[in-house]
Amino acid sequence: MKIGFIGLGNMGAPMAANLAKAGHEVFGYDTAEVSVEGVTQVCEASQATIDMDAVITMLPDGRILKSVYEQIVPLGKPGALFLDCSTVDMLSSKSAHQQAAEAGLLSVDAPVSGGMGGAIAGTLTFMVGSSAEAFEQVKPLLDIMGKRVVHCGEGGAGQAAKICNNMLLGISMIGTCEAFALGEKLGLDAERLFEVMSTSSGSCWSVNTYCPVPGVGPSSPADNGYKPGFAAELMLKDLRLSQNAAEQVDASTPMGLNATRIYEKFVEREGLGKDFSAMLLALAASTRGQSND
């Protein structure tokens, strides 16, 4: 297939590279003029759209997605597949679907989970919102870039699933960090506490797979000075999206709201540019009278 890929950042670049390695002809555009091995670099978004069988976007936010879609949708080849892998607000996602549908294009939202490591390894999880027809056509591409593809429902359902998942992740990481910080102050060895929590009722992904304590459990950003696998500011972005969505449907999410407030203060004070699991450092350094919430 001829594939245009717009947005070659930390996630988009390796995703585009994996498509090229699989034998697709990939044309990449990014405002930063990023060069990706196997991908033909183009100078304008239009050059990654005109005559393409599929156009993939991986963009920072809904405002940029809307702006890009206003530019490229009128240039899409009739029947072409427009796949957006950005994590954006629900209104922007549904607007993108509507624009594409009105132009006779197949539209898919498929935000990802798995971080930079998953993008490089081609092991991402895709949460997909689309028609059955669009899903059938997009799945072979998603299978190249990821190891798990879940069709969550019609347009926008992928974004909804991503927002719910990452709200839970933000909450569970704070709880994990609180538990390890408390355990340290109680004199517990972190490795012994990990053995208990990872095999009993406290077991969760934030403990078992992405432990925030250096040298404990499988390798994680904590073992690399908290260099981001998933940056704290990106977690904050997703938590804010969850609260925006909750307001739209009048859903009660008190833990999600509190997690948002905690990450806001963390990013503002010391977390910018660090992995979201570095929340452990802030909690370990604070006292009961210096609550982050």
Angle between helices 12-21 and 132-145 (to 10 degrees): 90
For residue 250, name the pLDDT band (cuts at 50, 70, 90).
very high
Residue 59 maps to a domain: yes
* Overall average pLDDT of the 111-132 stretch: 94
What is the rounded distance in angstroms from the CA atom of residue 43 to the CA atom of residue 48?
Answer: 9
- Please check the confidence at residue 31 and state whether its pLDDT lies above 90: yes
**Residue 125 gets which letter from DSSP?**
E
CATH code at position 127:
3.40.50.720
Domain range for 51: 2-154
Write out pLDDT tens, residues 180-219. Answer: 999 999 999 999 999 999 999 999 999 999 999 999 999 9
- Please check the confidence at residue 293 and state whether its pLDDT lies above 50: no
What the block records as the tokens of 118 is 């998953």
pLDDT recorded at residue 59:
97
Q: Are residues 13 and 129 located together in one domain of the fold?
A: yes
Write out pLDDT tens, residues 163-172. Answer: 999 999 999 9
Write out pLDDT tens, residues 261-272. Answer: 999 999 999 999
What is the rounded distance in angstroms from the CA atom of residue 283 to the CA atom of residue 278?
Answer: 9
CATH code at position 248:
1.10.1040.10
What the block records as the tokens of 176 is 């994990």
Given 136, 154, 172, the domain boundary residue is 154
* Overall average pLDDT of the 16-30 stretch: 98
What is the rounded distance in angstroms from the CA atom of residue 98 to the CA atom of residue 78?
Answer: 15
pLDDT recorded at residue 101:
95
Q: Are residues 138 and 17 located together in one domain of the fold?
A: yes
> Alpha carbon 5 to chain centroid distance?
17
Cβ 277 vs Cβ 226: under 8 Å = yes
The tally of domains found in the chain comes to 2
Q: CB count, 10 Å around CB of 93?
A: 27
Q: Are residues 28 and 85 located together in one domain of the fold?
A: yes
Please state, for a pLDDT cut of 70, what percent of the chain lies above it.
99
Q: Are residues 146 and 7 located together in one domain of the fold?
A: yes
Residue 292 maps to a domain: no
Q: Are residues 55 and 136 located together in one domain of the fold?
A: yes
Given 125, 154, 183, the domain boundary residue is 154
> Alpha carbon 71 to chain centroid distance?
24
- Positions marked active-site: 162
Q: Are residues 124 and 254 located together in one domain of the fold?
A: no
- Please check the confidence at residue 114 and state whether its pLDDT lies above 90: no
